[in-house]
Structure 1
Amino acid sequence: MTDSTNPVRGTRKPNRGRAGQILRAAEKIFAQKGFDGATMREVADAAGVGLSLVVYHFTTKDGLYRSIFEARQYVNDERLTRLETITDTAAPDALDRLIAAFVDPVLAMHTEPENVSFARLVLREAADPSSQQRSVIKDLFDPMARAFITKLDAVLPGRPAGFHEWAYLFSVGALTLSAFDDRIDNLSDHDISGRKHEFLRRYITAALRHQPAGS
């Protein structure tokens, strides 16, 4: 059984070699400028390679962009694996484990500087109205989302129509915004950034439990 009290550690890193070098540079550039604002030449310069090598590996900007998310798909795979371990949906800790499966693999990335750019890129993509044209969210995130919604329905049955779908999207909002820690220092006189994981889990769990069955 997965321990729901600790975030996932030791997640697999993106591909190494020149292609991996380009992907890591691309994550940072796209996270800073978004899909429309970034160029393949900027990525090549950031990676310290020629533009022709970027084109050789990824062909187009769309191909490069999608490859970033495909290389990081192990995060969603880990979330799905953890969801599958929740077999007793009536157990007292079922909701806690469900939220842990959803949150922990993502928050584990926030502790490593080389991974934070991807977490911020996900927020950009999720909030970009033109993201539907690229189908990254639909193809690579929605299968996990549907699995989460199905399991949430089993853990919290009898909720109004649409509750589980909106609960997922609201939870996504809280999770993706947590990739930006800088502003918390402007809002508090105390060093509380280290408690993000604890507070985020409690916040999402409490929100989901608040809606009574049948209301």
Structure 2
Amino acid sequence: MTGQQFSTKERILGAAEELFAQHGFSGTSLRQVTSRADVNIAAVNYHFGSKENLVNEVFRRRMDVMSAQRLDRLRAALADHPAQLEPILAAFVEPALDMAQDRHGGALIRVIARAYAEKNEGLRKFLSDQYGHVQREFARALSTCVPHLDKEQLYWRLDFLGGALTYAMADFGLIKRPAGVSEAEHRRHAARELIRFSAAGFKA
């Protein structure tokens, strides 16, 4: 891929991410994306083929990195802290909160919220097909720590963890970053509290 192609594709993805965050998927037209990215419709068709594929790729460019980090952290947790619950939960939680802190990650969090609100079935299938294996890896690792849970209970609790994590990523709760505390430290504190909360839930 040439530098020009890379620049065009990234501009389209960045514009789409911002517009999806602001207006949702159905509320954003390809014409709006091309206007924001300063490209023509042929460039969108060339790089993505369809609006559905563009939506998917907006997620892929963030989720691929986060998923790889989660799995790397999970392997390290299993090697260094076998059968310990909190290191496994940290491997799931911390990469997501790190992404939320990144200046490019904030828009994706709003896009995720839009995906929940709009019940985009095509996107849900894409995310399940592409990243379901990550959830299954964590479920297998967690099951060794909480053998009293059957598979359904385990997946319910993993689902609740995902919801709480999305909420924490959006920084929408009652606890705001205190004056004098860096964003990084605030996120680390949020991660610690979420990991403790989730561990108690899995053990219950």
TM-score in same-fold range (> 0.5): yes
The list of structure 1 runs, each at least 4 consecutive aligned residues, that deviate by more than 4 angstroms after superposition, is 88-92, 186-194, 210-213
1:124-165 Cα shifts (integer Å, max 9, x gaps): 324542335651221123211111111111122222452210
Seen in structure 2, the aligned counterparts of structure 1 residues 132 and 57 have a Cα distance that, compared at 3 Å, is: closer
Note if 1:56 corresponds to 2:84: no
Distance 1:53 1:195 in 2: 40
How far off is 1:189 after superposition? 9.8
Distance 1:134 1:46 in 2: 26
- Which amino acid in the other structure matches residue 73 of structure 2? R
Is the 2:48–2:54 contact (alpha carbons within 8 Å) kept by the matching residues of 1? yes
Identity %: 28
User: Structure 2: which 5+ residue stretches go unaligned?
Assistant: none
- Which amino acid in the other structure matches residue 152 of structure 2? G
Distance 1:154 1:75 in 2: 24
Distance 1:128 1:153 in 2: 32
Note if 1:77 corresponds to 2:68: yes
Is the 2:13–2:54 contact (alpha carbons within 8 Å) kept by the matching residues of 1? yes
How far off is 1:22 after superposition? 0.8
Distance 1:18 1:188 in 2: 37
Q: Which residue of 1 aligns with 2:135?
A: 145
Q: Which residue of 1 aligns with 2:77?
A: 86
User: Structure 1: which 5+ residue stretches go unaligned?
Assistant: 1-14
TM-score calculated relative to the size of structure 1: 0.77
- Which amino acid in the other structure matches residue 34 of structure 1? G
Distance 1:133 1:114 in 2: 20
* RMSD, matched Cα: 2.8
How far off is 1:43 after superposition? 1.1
